[in-house]
């Protein structure tokens, strides 16, 4: 007999790597209760890893298309790229709760007035990350981005090297920027974020896990409103 799920969450990977989607799903499913299901869809027109603002902007259209196609049988939606491409448009038209990796991570990192920074591998996306912090009203707590200096595609292909270089960027967030919490900024960096969370004594925000927690809160709130009405 097939399992029955009370909630179904759609994870949209704006990058075109199915391996990245499967990694995201493994991490996300670890944060679900038994009554929830997480399913994923992968972009086809985007690069395997989004590295520039123009690529991120171009991804938004396909993300909205995938959201439109998938909302009919889902209770919540996650845009699983750190720039949250298409999220604002989705919110205007979708009947279900939605969040993105950057939004969910920053809201969680800033909880309680904590100063937070971002460690990532994509220097060209730093202005986008800066803008997201400002648009969320978190600029006063945001300590900025520290980035690795290697080619992002090559670095993410070597997990040990990726963890080491991101760890150095985390240390810079702490020592140079006085961050109290550090976000690992990127969907394809999801597994590295989980590993680094076990290495540091300070909170390391893994964006996929943060998005799962955020969408669960949104769905609970949405359900309470529906029940009351």
Angle formed at CA 155 by CA 147 and CA 58, multiple of 5 degrees: 75
CA–CA separation, 188 and 166 (whole Å): 13
CA–CA separation, 119 and 106 (whole Å): 12
Each residue of 37-87: pLDDT tens digit? 999 999 999 999 999 999 999 999 999 999 999 988 899 999 999 999 999
| Percent of all residues in the chain with a pLDDT value above 70, rounded to a whole number | 96
CA–CA separation, 126 and 113 (whole Å): 22
Give pLDDT, residue 4.
53
CA–CA separation, 188 and 109 (whole Å): 19
Each residue of 166-195: pLDDT tens digit? 999 999 999 999 999 999 999 999 999 999
Give pLDDT, residue 228.
56
CA–CA separation, 107 and 133 (whole Å): 9
Give pLDDT, residue 72.
86
pTM as predicted: 0.94
Write phi, then psi, for 75 (nearest 5 degrees).
-105, -15
E-strand stretches of the chain:
7-13, 36-42, 76-79, 98-100, 116-120, 142-147, 181-184, 204-205
Give pLDDT, residue 226.
59
CA–CA separation, 14 and 62 (whole Å): 8
């Amino acid at each position: 007999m097939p399992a029955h799920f009370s909630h179904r969450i759609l994870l949209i990977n704006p990058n075109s790597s199915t391996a990245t989607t499967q990694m995201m799903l493994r991490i996300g499913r670890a944060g679900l209760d038994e009554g929830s299901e997480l399913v994923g869809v992968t972009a086809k027109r985007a690069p395997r890893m989004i590295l520039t603002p123009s690529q991120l902007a171009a991804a938004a259209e396909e993300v909205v298309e995938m959201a439109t196609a998938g909302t009919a049988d889902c209770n919540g939606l996650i845009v699983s790229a750190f720039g949250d491409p298409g999220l604002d448009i989705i919110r205007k038209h979708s009947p279900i709760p939605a969040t993105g990796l950057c939004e969910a991570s920053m809201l969680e990192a800033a909880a309680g007035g904590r100063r937070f920074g971002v460690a990532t591998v994509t220097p060209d996306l730093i202005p986008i990350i800066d803008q997201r912090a400002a648009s969320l009203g978190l600029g006063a707590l945001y300590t900025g981005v520290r980035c690795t200096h290697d080619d992002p595609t090559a670095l993410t292909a070597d997990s040990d090297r990726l963890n080491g270089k991101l760890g150095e960027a985390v240390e810079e967030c702490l020592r140079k920027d006085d961050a109290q919490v550090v976000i690992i900024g990127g969907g394809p960096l999801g597994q590295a974020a989980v590993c680094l969370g076990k290495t540091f004594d300070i909170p390391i925000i893994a964006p996929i896990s943060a998005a799962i927690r955020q969408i669960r809160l949104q769905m609970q709130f949405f359900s309470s409103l529906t029940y009351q009405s």
